[in-house]
Amino acid sequence: MRAPCSLASRAFMACSLQYPTDPEGLPGTADIAQFSAVTLQSQDGQPIAASNGLLLGVFTRVENTGMVWNEDETSLEEWGTAPALIEPVRFTTTLTLSDTDDVEVWALDERGALHRQLEHQIPAPGQMQFVVDTGADRTMWYAVGRVWTVYLPVIQR
């Protein structure tokens, strides 16, 4: 899907996974998803490139703890319980924005609140690049937004 205020994609991620060169720096890579669905939505109604707030969703396989499928995997025998088990995925993404000044990337917590700020690079004018790692960040949701500086008037008596 491609619209001015939202994008959606699904892809096999093997070609996009970013691995360090040191094999010992690969904890848990066998558990990294090979397929995911990714959405990017403008939160202020502006086109993505001009938006002051974007919501990035990264989705892989999810199931409840203890969930049991029938033999044909067409129905559940046991729904399971919390917590949900989410297959992690790691990839580098580049966003094209009209202005990359004062833009931050945050991993969101389970309530949608800012949880951890992510490092990002500006590889070229109008581009912002960062690593999405749902396992390390413990989330499927990310916020990309402009930092607003508010200047309050000084009142002297």
pLDDT tens track for 11-46: 555 434 333 333 333 333 345 677 888 999 999 999
Are the CB atoms for 37 and 1 separated by under 8 Å?
no
User: What is the rounded end-to-end Cα distance, in angstroms, of the chain?
Assistant: 57
∠ CA 136-128-18, rounded to 5°: 45
Which secondary-structure segment (H or E) carries 134?
Answer: helix 134-137
Task: Note whether residue 157 is domain-resident.
Answer: no
| pLDDT band at residue 149 using 50, 70 and 90 as cut-offs | low
Are the CB atoms for 4 and 47 separated by under 8 Å?
yes
Task: Note whether residue 142 is domain-resident.
Answer: yes
Cα dist. 45→39, 72, 95, 99 in Å? Answer: 15, 43, 17, 17
Task: Note whether residue 152 is domain-resident.
Answer: no
Are the CB atoms for 77 and 49 separated by under 8 Å?
no
pTM: 0.75
Task: Note whether residue 46 is domain-resident.
Answer: yes
Structural domain boundaries enclosing 84: 2-20+29-146
Task: Note whether residue 156 is domain-resident.
Answer: no
Number of domains making up the chain: 1
Are the CB atoms for 8 and 38 separated by under 8 Å?
yes
Cα dist. 145→47, 77, 82, 103, 148 in Å? Answer: 13, 43, 31, 5, 9
Task: Note whether residue 53 is domain-resident.
Answer: yes
- Joined together, the tokens standing for residue 40 give 């990017």
Q: 77: phi > 0 → left, psi -120 to 50 → alpha, else beta; which?
A: alpha
Predicted pLDDT at 75: 95
Q: Could you read off the pLDDT of 81-125 as tens digits, one per residue?
A: 998 888 999 889 999 999 998 899 999 998 999 999 999 999 999
Task: Note whether residue 151 is domain-resident.
Answer: no
Q: From CA 146, how far away is CA 100, in angstroms rounded?
A: 8
